[in-house]
Each structure stands twice: as C-alpha cells, then as structure tokens.
Chain A
Amino acid sequence: MDEIDRKIINHLQGGSPVCESPYQVVATELGLTEAVLIERLKGLLEAGILSRFGPMYHAEQMGGELTLAAVKAPQDRFKQVAEMINALPEVAHNYARNHELNMWFVIATNKSERLSEVIQSIEEKTALPVYNMPKIKEYFVDLKLEA
C-alpha cells in the first residue's frame, strides 16, 4: 500500500457520487486517471484491505431489526458456542472480547418478530442466556479510519 492507495481509501470512505462515470469524477478529484483508480481499487479489494466498494444501507429503514447481543461462553466450549452462533445467517459480526461477557455479536433480521426467534434459538442451542442490548439512541457514528 502506498500514498496513492491511502489517498484513495481516505477519500472514498466519505462516499462517491451517483452519476454516469463515478470513477472518473473521483479520479479527477484525486488527480489520477480513471484507469489508475479502477486498477488500484481492484488491487485493494483483492488484497482484502477493502472489504467492499458499495452501499451502506440504513438497516432500520429497510424494515429490519438490528441489535447487539452478548453471551458468557464458558472457556471449555467457547469454540463450539461461537460456531453455533455464527451458523445463524442473521448473525452479522461476532467478536470475542476480554470480559466475563466474552462473545459479542450483531444480529440483523428482516422482520422485528424474527429477532426474538433468533435470540431464543441461540439460547436453546447454547444453553446460555443472551444479553440483548438494542440501540436506544445513536449519538454519533463515523467509521472512517485513516489509512
């Protein structure tokens, strides 16, 4: 990754225009040619430095439900619990964290009633209580990370 890659990543975390030739517009803003920008983006995507170049959807506006939940997974079956939880398609992220509540995951469902079913299913499969912490208020979000 060089300075040009960094410049592209930092710029495009802020979004791109919806127009006929979005790459051309962005390339001009960055002082690059369209061909170079496209080549660089392909490389960054292939290397996995970028996971996607696409839309960020507003989950709630899509009619779905999103929550953050956690369990206290016993060490002796930590991996098994992770596999059980990750097997559910509604589980979007799952992170191990250093706390007694040691497994934190995001559940995204298409309908609000489905959320409680997913939580119940996790509780049944893992025999662990799920701590459900849905967002009450969003004060601030800015996920831009400087490359």
Chain B
Amino acid sequence: MIDFIDRQLIEVLQDGLANVSRPYALIGQQLNLSEDEVIVRLSQLKQIGLIKRLGVIVNHRKLGYRANAMVVFDVPDTLVKKIAGHVSQFSFVNICYLRPSRGEQWPYNLYCMIHGKNREKVLQQLEHLTASCGLSSVKHEVLFSRKCFKQRGAIYKADSESGKVLSNG
C-alpha cells in the first residue's frame, strides 16, 4: 500500500503540476527526493488507479458549456444494468451512476449528466436518448443547474499519524 512519501506526493501535487520543463524534479526538490523516485512513485500510483489521470481540468462554463443537466430516471432494478449500458453509449452523456431512490419524494435511481452549450440542444439530445433506449414512458426529470456556488476538488493532506490521506479543508 502507499506510504508516507506517497501521501506527501499526493498532497504536493494536488494544486497542480508546475509549468516548468522538469516539473517532477521540482517536486523532488520540495520533498528531498530524486526526480526518478518521484516519477517511479507517481507511475505506481497511476497504475493502482489512485491517480486516475494527470491532465487538465476545465472550467466547463468558461468553455461555453452552460447547460448542465442532471437527468434522473426511475428505472426498475432488474433493468438498470441494461439501460445504463445503453445510455452510456451516447457521446453526450458524461456520467451515468446508480444511486438510491428516496421513496415517493425522490423515486429516481439512475443519474446521467449531460453538459451542453444550450438547453434546447440538451433537451433534443435527451429526447433522442429516451426514445432510443425505450425510456420515454419511464418516469424521469431534468434538473438544470442554475448557479454554481462552489466548485473545487477535495483537499488532501498527508497525515503521518493516522496513516491516511485526509480530504478535508
């Protein structure tokens, strides 16, 4: 499993990679490690899936993706897997998750996110999706986001005592 040095790397890296020619050498200097060791350790963290990827995270609103729709369906448990597989094939679907329904107040269990540039387009895509997946008669709702109050990733801290990576502010 990961050790304290890995956890330090995770903490140092979270704010982003420096925009310099040898960014991993710079991290090594901060943590008193060689560039090689940083690269080897980070490659391992990627391999075990703890780092999903090292790339850019875009501000979707600034890229013009202002219509952010969370579409929720009330799908029978026995059909969830099949429908989710079908829904996930559509290129405009960014996320497809199963979550617990909450009684009559909130009967929905299958969540899809569609990020689009405008609502009309997203609603057209959704219509296409529901028709193609046989979901037109399945109870569903579209929740567009109106305002983003807060957006940031989780914050990780290396904590030597608990041996855990903390994710709190």
Residues of A participating in the B interface, judged by any CB pair closer than 8 Å: 8-9, 12-16, 18-24, 34, 38, 41-42, 44-45, 47-59, 61-64, 66, 68, 82, 86, 89-99, 101, 104-105, 108-111, 114, 131, 133-143, 145, 147
Q: In the bound complex, do residue B148 and residue A147 qualify as a contact, i.e. CB atoms below 8 Å apart? A: no
Partner of A55, one of B51, B68, B70: B51
Told that A42-B19, A44-B56, A53-B19 touch, could you supply 17 new A-B pairs with CB distance under 8 A? A20-B24, A21-B21, A49-B62, A54-B57, A56-B54, A56-B55, A57-B10, A58-B52, A97-B146, A99-B143, A101-B106, A137-B98, A138-B98, A139-B84, A140-B84, A140-B96, A145-B65
Q: In the bound complex, do residue B55 and residue A53 qualify as a contact, i.e. CB atoms below 8 Å apart? A: yes
Give chain A's interface secondary structure class. Answer: mixed
B122 at the A interface (CB under 8 A) = no
Report the bound CA distance from A58 to B151 in whole Å: 17
Q: In the bound complex, do residue A135 and residue B49 qualify as a contact, i.e. CB atoms below 8 Å apart? A: no
Q: In the bound complex, do residue A145 and residue B14 qualify as a contact, i.e. CB atoms below 8 Å apart? A: no
Q: In the bound complex, do residue B15 and residue A52 qualify as a contact, i.e. CB atoms below 8 Å apart? A: yes
Residues of B participating in the A interface, judged by any CB pair closer than 8 Å: 10, 13-17, 19-25, 35, 39, 42-43, 46, 48-60, 62-63, 65, 68, 70, 84-85, 87-88, 93-100, 102, 105-106, 111, 115, 141, 143-156, 164-169
Contacts of B51 in A (CB 8 A): 55-58
Given contact pairs A21-B22, A53-B56, A141-B95, A110 touches B17 in the complex (Cβ within 8 A)? no
Contacts of B96 in A (CB 8 A): 138-141
Partner of B100, one of A61, A133, A147: A133
Q: In the bound complex, do residue A145 and residue B58 qualify as a contact, i.e. CB atoms below 8 Å apart? A: yes
Q: In the bound complex, do residue A110 and residue B167 qualify as a contact, i.e. CB atoms below 8 Å apart? A: yes
Q: In the bound complex, do residue A95 and residue B100 qualify as a contact, i.e. CB atoms below 8 Å apart? A: no
Report the bound CA distance from A55 to B25 in whole Å: 17
Q: In the bound complex, do residue B62 and residue A136 qualify as a contact, i.e. CB atoms below 8 Å apart? A: no
Q: In the bound complex, do residue B94 and residue A141 qualify as a contact, i.e. CB atoms below 8 Å apart? A: yes
